[in-house]
Structures are given as C-alpha cells and as structure tokens.
Amino acid sequence: MSRALLVAIVLAATLLCVCSALAVRVASKHTPSCLPASTRVAVYTYNIGGYDPLTFTRVPRDIDAFFFTIEGEITHGDRQAAARQGWNVVFVDKSEQTPYVDANRLTSKRLKWASSALFSDYHFVLTHDANVTVDYSRLRGFIRRHATDDSVVLKNWEHRTSGNQARVFSEINDMLERRKQFVTTSREQVIAWRDALLRDDTYDTAPYFETDIFLFRPDCARYRAFGDDTYRYCHSIQRDQFVVPYMLQKRGVRNKALPVRVWSNELGYRKKILHLKRN
C-alpha cells in the first residue's frame, strides 16, 4: 500500500468520526429521542378570569397538555381549537378571595404552585403563564439537557436593578414606590415580608427568578412542600416572585436558573406583554 493511499484512508476515517460526533451532538440537541420514551412529560397552563387571550400551540403526542380554566370562561369553539392542538381542557373551582388577593389571582397561584399532586404520574412538568408560548417539540430535549439533576428549573430575573440593591429588594421597592398598581391590595403585607427578609441573616438574596415559566419534578417531596408554602403566602401577597427564592431555600429544593436566552434559543420561549386585564 502506497504512503499516499494510507494517508487518504486515515484522513477519511478521521473525517467520518468527526461527522458522526457532530451528528450525535445535533441529534441530542434537537430531537425528542434524547429523553427515553418511557419518561412521562406534561405541560399545563391556566387562564382564570379572562386574564389573557386564548392561544393554543401544537403539542406533540408524546407530551400531555392541560389547560385549566373556569367553566363558562371558554367557548365551545375555543375548546375544539384546543383539542385540535392536543390540549385537554380542565375546569376547576375558584379559590376563595382574601382581603389581600382576589379570587382569580389566588386560583391562578393555586394552579401554579400547589398542583403537584395532579401530576403524580409524570416525571417532568412544564408550566407557564397563558401569555407565554414555547415550541413543545423541543421540550424533551430541553429536559434532558437541563432538568435531570434538579427538582425545579426556573428563568433568571435579568432586569435592571436600582443601585446596589439585591434584585428581590429592588423589585419589591419598585412596586411599592413606582408600580404601585401591582401591590395595591397587599401593600402592608409586602412591606412586612420585605422587612422580614431583611432581618433574616440566613437568607441568600442573590437568586431571583421570573416565574412566568418553569419546569419541575412533581414527585419531589421538597418541591411539593415548597409549592404549598408559596401558595399559602400568596393568600396575603400578590406577587409570588417575592416569596419563591426564600421558600426554595427554606425547603432545600434543588434548583437552577437558566438565562432568558437559553429558554428562548432552546425552547422557543416567547412572551406577549399585553394582558386583557389586570388581576
């Protein structure tokens, strides 16, 4: 065998290995098969009180999708549209309002944080607000890359802060002083919560999240306890993001926060800013 032929064979074999490796890498990033077919995945969203316009994005057959609403708040035509896109419409009862939080908002928070028991048959669950859209065909790959070692995966809060304040205190103070409409009925309770956090030397103020989308393991006992705690505080505080970081720490829930760009680039996350009403 000539030396030139031997070199050509070696180069061809090397190129084949590189191409195979790249193919595997691309497949692992973009195909659902990178998560075992036996892994049960669900997604759910909710629209209570007509808060957001109804839109339903197609869900693959290997993911179960649930849309929670109140009977009478969705038309027969919208139910049919949801079914065509793979969604199951589920009617729920409203939570009873409190002096600080109205029934629509509190029902949404119950569904958002205290619904783990409804999904006990699933390994992973994605939930998001009704004004958020994602590409569900990429969800199983997203889980495989980011959620196998944690009980909840959240979206990092990346807005500008005021001065050197921790992000949680920056947003609390901003809503108390500038965006007062977001805490109108629970202002005194928010002030008391902020002051309690300031007094707690064990609280790590660095983590802070936007909670319009997150992924969780419903079978995690610590996550369930965290969700129940968070919902309990939502009875007196209108903004759940003020409570979530503290409760995750107190319950010792394994978690991570991914940048917005990761949610956008890998899962097609998009958010419509406009709501039909404020609750």
Q: What is residue 163's predicted lDDT score, i.e. its pLDDT?
A: 75
Per-residue CA distances from 6 to 1, 13, 19, 20, 189 (Å) = 7, 11, 20, 21, 77
Residue 276 tokens read as 């039909």
Task: Tell me what pLDDT residue 6 has.
Answer: 41
pLDDT confidence of residue 5: 41
pLDDT at 51: 80
Q: Report the pLDDT value the prediction gives residue 161, as an integer from 0 to 100.
A: 82
pLDDT of residue 87: 98
What pLDDT was estimated at residue 162? 72
The pLDDT value recorded for residue 2 is: 53
Query: What pTM does this model have?
Result: 0.85
Q: Are the beta carbons of 240 and 190 closer than 8 angstroms?
A: no
* Residue the block writes with tokens 């610590």: 222
Q: What is the pLDDT of residue 274?
A: 60
Residue-by-residue DSSP string for 233-252: HTTT-S-GGGTHHHHHHHHT
Q: Evaluate whether 124 touches 39 at the Cβ level (below 8 Å).
A: yes
pLDDT at res. 160: 82
CB-based contact 56:81 (threshold 8 Å): yes
| pLDDT tens digits in sequence order for the chain, 279 residues long | 554 444 343 344 443 443 444 333 433 344 444 789 899 999 999 999 988 888 899 999 999 999 999 999 999 999 999 999 999 999 999 999 999 999 999 999 999 999 999 999 999 999 999 999 999 999 999 999 999 899 999 999 998 887 788 999 999 999 999 999 999 999 999 999 999 999 999 999 999 999 999 999 999 999 999 999 999 999 999 999 999 999 999 999 999 999 999 999 999 999 986 655 555
Judge whether 135 and 60 are in contact, CB under 8 Å.
no
